[in-house]
Amino acid sequence: MRPPRLLTVTSAAVAIAAAALVSSAPSAIAAAATPARSAAPARLGAVAAGGPSGVQARGANLVNVATGRRLWSRALTTKRPMASITKVMTALVVIRAGGLNRTVRVPAFVVPYVDQHNASSAGLRPGDVLTVRQLLEALLLPSGCDAALVLASVYGPGWRAFVRKMNVTARTLGLRSTHFANFDGLPWPTEFTTYSTPKDLITLGEAAMRLPAFRAIVRQRSYFIAATAHHHAYRWQNTNELLGSYPGAFGIKTGHTGGAGYCLLFEAQRKGVTLMGVVLDSSKTNSTAAFADARRMLNWAFAARRGLLAA
């Protein structure tokens, strides 16, 4: 059997990452339309009649996956930054492109990129050779911005080309109020140049969860890679605290920046009913707020009368 092909990040990509990427994004991206920064419900504690109580998120959406019925929402079409939920699209583009068993050498520029942005990291070691599938684990479980950079550099090739692919995919999926300025949801060029809506993010989540590779990764609480001659050992914990703490939860992705607040795209199943939801900006300071909001929404829907969950 032929050994898997080793993909390398080009010198052009190195130059981009070392210079432009750690400082600013292209002016064309910076000029993209941005969401309103002050948009918020008049009363964060208020809900529609019969809706879940106590949800603090500024934007939210909850749907029955099987029927497509929207059960409850808040600021459904308001554009907001979604932080690392962006990585759902990153993974979607990579998985659709294929080649998950190919190998990639981790470039040195991932370290200054993470340091420059104080970004969440999978702790990738320059020079290590990992498969694309392993890099997807590093992307989605610990929310590794280093893994996002490597994948974007390879699958663009180059991060600019990759971001263009993300936006083309968004249009193909019908995400009319979504724009990606980068591949990981970090706040560059600004906090508000990568954004989406609660409505669009459910569509994105449904598309990603239809991919077996994506679905298998995001339902894991942790992932371990033993050391070999080609790479160090890695152990990655999933940042999604619903897994293992909320019965039936099996995904999907967390997110947080100063502008986005704490966000969560989530999915859970009980008694044959699968619900998918999202909360955006549950809190600027409380790291558990998005999980609490998700629990309130799920508990309300699962406890509701059968008519709510019917077609």
Catalytic: 84? yes
Catalytic: 153? no
Write down the catalytic residue from 73, 121, 143, 153.
143
**Amino acid symbol at 178:** T
d(CA 50, CA 37): 29
CB-based contact 194:185 (threshold 8 Å): yes
DSSP string, 7-51: E---HHHHHHIIIIIHH---HHHHTS----SS---S-TT---TTS
What value does the CA radius of gyration of the chain take, rounded to a whole number of Å? Answer: 19
Write down the catalytic residue from 73, 84, 177, 282.
84
CB-based contact 9:150 (threshold 8 Å): yes
Write down the catalytic residue from 87, 165, 199, 253.
87
> Token digits for 109?
């520029």
End-to-end CA distance of the chain: 50
Helices (H), 60-197: 86-97, 110-117, 132-140, 145-155, 159-172
Residues with catalytic annotation? 84, 87, 143
